[in-house]
Amino acid sequence: MIAPSILSADFARLGAEVDAVAGSGENRADWIHVDVMDAHFVPNLTIGLPVVESLRKSTDVPLDCHLMIDDPDRWAPGYAEAGAHNVTVHVEAAHDPVMVAKDLRAAGARAGLSLKPGTPLDDHLDTLRHYDTLLIMSVEPGFGGQSFIPDVLSKVRTARRLVDTGHLRVLVEIDGGINADTIEQAAEAGVDCFVAGSAVYGTDDPGRAVARLRERARAARQR
Ligand code: DX5
Ligand code: ZN
């Protein structure tokens, strides 16, 4: 799965930017990744609920909301109620992550849990049993266009093994620095869903970039 991050899109033309990856066939994104930042949990400030509500009406591609915010316990369910398909919160920010997952599912969304690059996976395995998606950050959250941190692939491999042996039931997603060069190692490690911002919206043809990334991931996974 490929999830273009609109963080690297032209916000003045957001509807058209999403449509550019909402065509048919291989050019179509599986999810649209929406980076919500609050200038507290991360230093940057981006977009929030009103933009998600508008996008939900303007596209049929499922929305994957990545909340890089403090107190997601309070704010995350609103994104599920707005029609997001998957809502991901940070384990470093949530007060009661098990309750957050329950609230998200009750509001009709899938629940995602994200780990910053330095956050160990092993400490949160029990919590993850309540979640549908594991988002492994491969850059420090806050900004697009950063370099991929290969050390996080050990967490991907562990998660892949736990999923394949039936000990965990999550989709394994990776976010940060994914491009044509880095996607292969992430795919080989066992990622299911790849977020890509600058590698999609930094090109002239975002739809074609989606197709190319998917092709490279598929080839690497089959090796
Ligand atoms: C970073 C965001 C990412 C970002 C990825 O905090 O969570 O989703 O948009 O951008 P690239 O693909 O350019 O690293
Ligand atoms: Zn993100």
* 64: nearest Cα among 168, 196, 217: 196
Q: Which two tokens stand for residue 154?
A: 């050990």
Q: Domains of the chain, with CATH numbers? A: 2-221 (3.20.20.70)
Q: Which two tokens stand for residue 40?
A: 């507290």
**Rounded to 5°, angle at Cα 183 from 163 and 176:** 85
Whole-number Å distance, alpha carbon 117 to ligand 2 midpoint, is 13
pLDDT classification of 192: cutoffs 50, 70, 90: very high
Give the pLDDT confidence of 44-96 residue by residue, as tens digits.
Answer: 999 999 999 999 999 999 999 999 999 999 999 999 999 999 999 999 999 99
Q: So what's the pLDDT on residue 132?
A: 99
Whole-number Å distance, alpha carbon 145 to ligand 1 midpoint, is 7
Q: Which two tokens stand for residue 196?
A: 């890509």
Q: So what's the pLDDT on residue 57?
A: 98
Whole-number Å distance, alpha carbon 124 to ligand 2 midpoint, is 20
Q: So what's the pLDDT on residue 175?
A: 99
| Ligand 1 atom with least separation from CA of 177 | 14
Q: For a pocket test of ligand 1, which of 31, 32, 143 has the largest count of ligand atoms closer than 8 A to its C-beta?
A: 143
- What's the sign of the alpha-carbon dihedral 93, 34, 117, 30? positive
Q: So what's the pLDDT on residue 223?
A: 84
Q: Which two tokens stand for residue 64?
A: 């994957």
User: If DSSP codes are grouped into helix, strand and coil, which group holds residue 91?
Assistant: coil
Give the pLDDT confidence of 145-181 residue by residue, as tens digits.
Answer: 999 999 999 999 999 999 999 999 999 999 999 999 9
pLDDT at 98 over 90: yes
